[in-house]
Amino acid sequence: MKKVLIISLGMIALISFPVFSQESELEFGGYLEDTLSSERNIALDKTVVSNQTRIRLNIKNSYGDRGDLSVAIVGTRYSGYKTINLCDYLPEEEASRFPTAVSYDKTDDIWFQEAYGSLYLGQTTLRAGRQKYYTGTGYAWNPTDLFNWKDVFDPAYEIEGLDSVLFARSLPGDSLVSLYYSFGTSHDRPQRDYVESEDGDYQFKLKTHLFSWEITLQHSDVIKEYVDYEGVLNGTVDPTAMTSPIRWKLNALEVSGELAGIGIHAEGGEYTLSRPDDKDGDLPGKLESHTKYLVGADYTFENGVFVILEYYHEGLGETNLEDYSLNQRMAYYSGERDSLGKDNYYLGTSFPVTDFSTLALYVITNGNDGSTILNPWFTWIADDDISLYLSAQIPDGEEESAIGRSGSVLFGRLVFNF
């Protein structure tokens, strides 16, 4: 009810823009993207090929400097191998514990990735509706971003919009104070039945500058799901109650700047976890209050070679692969968590081969179990509006390590912007 009220009020305010302003500019755009991928499925002992065709249509109506209405509609169509079975990535011994596959099929879909209205009142921005919202300074990982899931193999790819309201106000000295309230729903997660609307997620942020450093203080309060596969398999948890809400409270700091000409970025904070559905209950599995942080450095050499290095400390990570639990592994393969190990490294380098093409190599290493994934990228701007991306993921490590039974992946992506 509260959600409907806020969105309605926001939309009413935005629809009234034409009253305030004569000038209005309507823009159309978007892209058509085709991704062909080939993955070695070790569990099935075969190479599976899949194709995703994705189209995004952007429509934006700007009312001068007073605001805008923006909609992004995304449609996807899949062909080839469409099944994602999380058990395929588990070590064989763990996978054999499941009587049935934990899988889903990718289905053709069309949805609103974004649909929001913005109102700009001098130094104040009010944005309501489905919108993208980021936080964090890290490239490969953003441990202080509790709202989004990030793909370490394609960290610059666009994210999904969240149903939310943003209030931001610029302060003197290019500082900013903002309050972001999310209903916790999006296209990927249409509803959260177990949480009352009053338990929505929020983030308070204060960003400022000190010399050439950008510094952000953040407090977040987010409800995330915990899925207890282990409990179901052990018979201690009813399958209908295998998902429980966990409240994540975060006090964090983000910085970016430079030291001796080297770019430095860092983010991290203290996470306090609790169960909103059972105030006296213990946290399930291996969950506990903890600390996460990321420290990174980057540099561009005279010849144009760019290098980035990041270290990510995951407080909930393990130092030994024998300690990985089934629930931790499942959360990792489903994207609910971004690492199994406590100490993670990301090394990347890119080089402009020609004016319109770039070659890059990224190496993602779990410092605790020794597993490594090589992630080369080749980018070619084929025409003014056509880009081609070729990439691979080449894992190396024990089956019991974080990579499990992940096989090599090759993919090509062609993007036409219109």
Partner 1 sequence: MKLRILLVILINLFFLSKLLVAQEMTALEILKKVDEVEKYDHAIMEMEQVITTSGGDKRLLKIKSWSVNTGDKQLAVYTYPKRVKGVKILMLNDGDDIWSYSPRTRRIRHLASHAKKQKVMGSDFTYEDMGGGKMSEKYTGKLKGEETFEDVSCYVLEMIPTPKGPSYGRIVGWIGKHDFVARKIDYYNKGDKKPFKTLFLRDVQNRDGHLVPMEMVMKNHEDDGTTENLTLNIDFKTPIQASRFKSNRLNR
Write the interaction track for partner 1 spanning residues 54-93; mark x where CB under 8 A is met and - where it is not: ----------------------------------------
CB of 324 to partner 1, least distance (A): 32
CB of 136 to partner 1, least distance (A): 10
Q: How many residues bind partner 1 (CB under 8 A)?
A: 47
Stretch that binds partner 1, among 83-91, 252-260, 280-288, 334-342 (CB under 8 A): 252-260
Q: Does 142 bind partner 1 (CB under 8 A)?
A: no
Q: Does 300 bind partner 1 (CB under 8 A)?
A: yes
Residues 167-226 binding partner 1 (CB under 8 A) are 168, 170, 174, 176, 207, 212, 214
Q: Does 398 bind partner 1 (CB under 8 A)?
A: no
Q: Does 120 bind partner 1 (CB under 8 A)?
A: yes
CA–CA separation, 29 vs 16, rounded Å?
A: 24
Stretch that binds partner 1, among 8-16, 89-97, 260-268, 333-341 (CB under 8 A): 260-268
Stretch that binds partner 1, among 124-132, 284-292, 319-327, 333-341 (CB under 8 A): 124-132
Q: Does 134 bind partner 1 (CB under 8 A)?
A: yes
Q: Which of 32, 242, 264, 394 is close enough to bind partner 1 by CB under 8 A?
A: 264
Stretch that binds partner 1, among 13-21, 250-258, 281-289, 398-406 (CB under 8 A): 250-258
Residues 343-362 binding partner 1 (CB under 8 A) are 352, 354-356
Residues 357-386 binding partner 1 (CB under 8 A) are 381, 384-386
Stretch that binds partner 1, among 46-54, 74-82, 152-160, 226-234 (CB under 8 A): 152-160
H/E/C letters for each residue in the chain? CHHHHHHHHHHHHHHCHHHHCCCCEEEEEEEEEEEEEEEEECCCCEEEEEEEEEEEEEEEEECCCCEEEEEEEEEEEEEECCEEEHHHCCCHHHHCCCCCCCEEECCCEEEEEEEEEEEEECCEEEEEEEECCCCCCCCCCCCCCCCCCCCCCCCCCCCCCEEEEEEEEEECCCEEEEEEEEEEEECCCCCCCCCCHHHCEEEEEEEEEECCEEEEEEEEEEEEEEECHHHHHHCCCCHHHCEEEEEEEEEEEEEEEEECCEEEEEEEEEEEEECCCCCCCCCCCCCCCEEEEEEEEEEECCCCCEEEEEEEEECCCECCHHHCCHHHHHHHHCCCCCCCECEEEEEEEEEEEECCEEEEEEEEEECCCCCEEEEEEEEEEEECCEEEEEEEEEEECCCCCCCCCCCCEEEEEEEEEC
Q: Does 261 bind partner 1 (CB under 8 A)?
A: yes
Residues that bind partner 1 (CB under 8 A): 29, 31, 118, 120, 123, 125, 131-132, 134, 137, 156-159, 168, 170, 174, 176, 207, 212, 214, 256-258, 261-264, 298-302, 304, 306, 352, 354-356, 381, 384-387, 415, 417-418
